[in-house]
Chains A and B, each alone.
Chain A
Amino acid sequence: MRVAVIVFPGSNADVDMYNAVEDCMDVPVDYVWHNETDLSEYEVILIPGGFSYGDYLRCGAVARFSPIMEAVKKAAEEGKLVMGVCNGFQILLESGLLPGAMLRNTSLTYRCKLSSLKVANSETPFTNAYEQDEVIQIPIAHGEGNYYCEEETLARLTANNQIVFRYEGENPNGSLDNIAGITNERGNVLGMMPHPERAVHEWMTSADGRRMFTSIMTAWREKNGVTTYA
C-alpha cells in the first residue's frame, strides 16, 4: 500500500500529514504536487490543511480546479480512501465530493485549540479503532469551519450515518448539528476540520488522532484480505 499527500500552493499541514503516516502506518508515502494527474499507484489519498491559493474567493474554491483533483475524483469513484483535513475538507466540499459548504466561524475569529470530539460513527474505514461515542481530543486551527448544508442534506447525512465526528462541549465554529467531520454516502471519502495528524504522540498533548491512521491500515488489510501475525 502507498499513501499520497497532495500538496497545493499554500498547503502547510502537508509535512505533519506525511510524518503522521510514517509514524503511525509505516507504509511508503509520497508528496504529490497539485499539477500531477495520476494517482493510480496510491491506495489512500490525503488532502492536508493550509491555505491553498491563499483561500482567495472562498476556501478551496480555486484548488478544486487543480489538475490533481480529477485524479482524486477518480480514486474516490474507485472506492479508494480519501481523507481531507481542514483546508482539505473545504476542498472536498467545493469539489462536490462531500455535500455542504463552509461559512466563517460564528465568532469571526481564527480558532486554534485542542477540541473535544465525539466519535459519532466508529464503523468507517477511518474510525474503526475508536469506540462508538468515545470522546477524543484533537486540535483545531481554522477560521472557516462553520459547516452548513440544506435541511434535506442534513437529514440524509444523519439517516446514512455520515456524520462521523461532532464537537463535544463547546462548538468552536457554530457548525450545524455540531458537525466536525462527515463522509460521503459510500463512506470512503472523509472530511474533517480538526487535525488528527497533529495528535499522534503524547508529546503533542494528545495521541488520540493516531487511531485514525491505524484504522485506515486495518480497513485496507480487511479489504485486501491481508492477515498480519504478531
Chain B
Amino acid sequence: MCKAIVYVTLRESVLDPQGHAVQGALHSLGFNGIKDARIGKYIELTLDTADRAEASAQVKEMCEKLLANTVIENYRFELVEE
C-alpha cells in the first residue's frame, strides 16, 4: 500500500477569484503583508500497490485524465509509504 498526495492548483496565468476574495478578507482583518493568495485542491489517494514506479505512473495518468484540467490547472504529487 502507498498513499498519493495530489495538489491541484490554478496555473499562474489564470486569475483566481476565490484566492482574490480570500486575500481581500485577510487584508480587511489587518494582515497586510499578503502579496497574493491562491486556492487549490488537496487529494489523498490510497493505492493498493507498493511499487512506487507503478504508483507514480498511475497517479500521473489520473491527474492528466481527471483530477486536473490542464487548460487551467497544474498538478504535483508525492508518494508516501503506508
Contacts and interface: CB of A to CB of B under 8 A. Distances in A.
A108 B76 CA distance: 26
B69 interface: yes
Contacts of B10: 103
Interface in B26-79: 66-67, 69, 71-72
Interface string B4-29: 00000010001101100100000000
A61 B14 CA distance: 19
Contacts of A62: 66
A102 to B, nearest CB: 8
A105 B21 CA distance: 12
Contact of A103 (B15, B21, B66, B67): B15
Contacts of B21: 108
Name the prevailing secondary structure of the A interface residues.
Answer: loop
A195 B15 CA distance: 26
B66 A61 contact: yes
A103 B17 contact: yes
Nearest to A96: B71
A57 B72 contact: no
B17 A146 contact: yes
Interface residues of B, number: 11
Contacts of B69: 58, 61, 94, 101
Contacts of B72: 101, 103, 148
Given A148-B72, A149-B71, A104 B66 contact: no
A10 interface: no
A155 to B, nearest CB: 15
Contact of B67 (A57, A106, A146): A57
A103 B72 CA distance: 8
A106 B17 contact: yes
Contacts of A58: 69
A104 B17 CA distance: 7
B71 A103 contact: no
A107 B20 CA distance: 10
A57 B17 contact: no
Interface string A42-78: 0000000000000001100110010000000000000
Nearest to B21: A108
Interface string A70-105: 000000000000000000000001100001110111
15 contacts: A57-B67, A58-B69, A61-B66, A61-B69, A65-B66, A99-B71, A101-B72, A103-B15, A104-B18, A108-B17, A148-B14, A148-B71, A150-B71, A174-B15, A174-B17
Interface of A: 57-58, 61-62, 65, 93-94, 99-101, 103-108, 146, 148-150, 174
Interface of B: 10, 14-15, 17-18, 21, 66-67, 69, 71-72
Q: A-B pairs with the 7 shortest C-beta distances?
A: A101-B71, A101-B72, A104-B17, A106-B17, A101-B69, A108-B17, A108-B21
